[in-house]
Amino acid sequence: MPKSKTKSRKLKNLEPLDTDIVSLDETSEHSPDQTDNKPKVADEIKSEPIVKKIRDKIKKIRSRRYQTLISEIDKSKTYPLEDAIDLVKRSSNTKFDATLEAHINLHLDVTKADQQVRSTVLLPHGSGKEPKILVFTQSPDVELKQSGVVIGDKQTVSDIINTGKISFDKVVATPEMMPVLTPAAKVLGPRGLMPNPKTGTVTTDLKKTIQELKSGLIEFKTGKSPIIHAIIGKASFEKEKLVENFKVLLDSINRSRPKGTKGDLIVSIYLTTTMSPSVRVDSSSLK
């Protein structure tokens, strides 16, 4: 098969990449293995057409709306928290009320078990989203049934295992019901829905936990990477409320800092809304 057809097929199978791929060029320019005066080798010359096609594909993937928005953000600049929130709110011009998220990169080695972060925080102004809650308890009372939650049983667990479908944002259980839920751990666990005492979703006080979840209790944790992704509200929220929600989240992350870690915990902070570009926050402005 001709090489050109092989390359085109590979390009078609490439997954969409973020526009920040241009940073790869910046990295290569300053690489210790390469200088401006060094002549290009044959492999580099051959790769140039492929890189160009990838960039062209990225431009086609992004809508005109997105490209206009990203042109208004200086990617080389970091913004004070309030300015960053203002910019993110202005860039959220979708027809729906977009969710505003914080993406916080931590200076942790998550390959070590003692450097994982997982906890919850109650946002003072809520998250702007009322979660769908599935509750497992042996003795649900009338008040609990009328609170808007769904009561689960053994059949519910069986359906989760057999179908793998979950239409709930949170799963809460009393301690005595955990053995019933254990068979569904392979489905619930990877999605972060398995009840856990650390996040308060294994509890004897169901009413309090459900009220907190509805009032803005969110979970934050690190996974395979040391980055925490957390909701801090909706784009329609007043700036002051978003600032307060974010600061409460950041304080909780700092309090959850693993013992033995040294130096600054926060590496970088980005704010973004659904379907909008991200804005980098100046971490030094938060101290």
Residue 144: which CATH number?
Answer: 3.40.50.790
Q: Give dist(CA 244, CA 246) in Å, integer.
A: 5
134 and 205 housed in the same domain: yes
110 and 223 housed in the same domain: yes
Return the bridge partners of 230, or none.
102
Enclosing domain of residue 46: 3-61
- The count of structural domains within the chain is 3
Q: Tell me, what CATH number does 281's domain have? A: 3.30.190.20
- Is 69 inside a domain boundary? no
What's this model's pTM, rounded to 2 decimal places?
A: 0.70
- Is 269 inside a domain boundary? yes
For residue 82, the surrounding DSSP H or E stretch is helix 81-91
Q: How many CB atoms lie within 10 A of CB 121?
A: 20
41 and 89 housed in the same domain: no
Dihedral of the alpha carbons of 161, 222, 130, 232, in degrees to the nearest 10? -160
- Is 66 inside a domain boundary? no
Burial of residue 162, with CB atoms counted within 10 A of its CB: 0-12 exposed, 13-18 middle, 19 or more buried: exposed
In sequence order, which residues have a C-beta less than 8 Å from that of residue 265 and are 6 or more positions away?
Answer: 106, 107, 108, 253, 254, 257
- Is 67 inside a domain boundary? no
In sequence order, which residues have a C-beta less than 8 Å from that of residue 27 and are 6 or more positions away?
Answer: none
Distance of CA 216 to the CA centre of its chain: 16
Q: Give dist(CA 51, CA 239) in Å, integer.
A: 40
115 and 249 housed in the same domain: yes
pLDDT tens-digit map of 66-109: 666 666 677 788 999 999 999 999 888 778 899 999 999 999 99
47 and 185 housed in the same domain: no
- Is 156 inside a domain boundary? yes
- Full pLDDT tens readout for the chain, 287 residues: 454 554 455 444 544 444 443 333 333 333 344 444 445 444 544 566 776 666 666 555 666 666 666 666 777 889 999 999 999 998 887 788 999 999 999 999 988 888 999 899 999 999 998 889 999 998 888 888 788 899 999 999 999 999 988 889 999 999 999 999 999 999 998 888 999 988 889 999 999 999 999 999 999 999 889 999 999 999 999 999 999 999 999 999 999 999 888 888 999 999 999 888 889 999 888 87
182 and 246 housed in the same domain: no
- Is 68 inside a domain boundary? no
Structure tokens at 261: 């870690």
Closest CA to 121 of 258, 208, 221: 221
35 and 137 housed in the same domain: no
Query: Which residue type sits at 56?
Result: D
- Is 70 inside a domain boundary? no
- Is 201 inside a domain boundary? yes
234 and 184 housed in the same domain: no
223 and 123 housed in the same domain: yes
103 and 220 housed in the same domain: yes
Q: Of 13, 28, 61, which closes a domain?
A: 61
138 and 204 housed in the same domain: yes
221 and 119 housed in the same domain: yes
Q: Of 215, 230, 262, which closes a domain?
A: 215
Q: Of 35, 61, 87, which closes a domain?
A: 61
As a three-state string, the secondary structure of 190-214 is HHCCCCCHHHCCECCCHHHHHHHHH
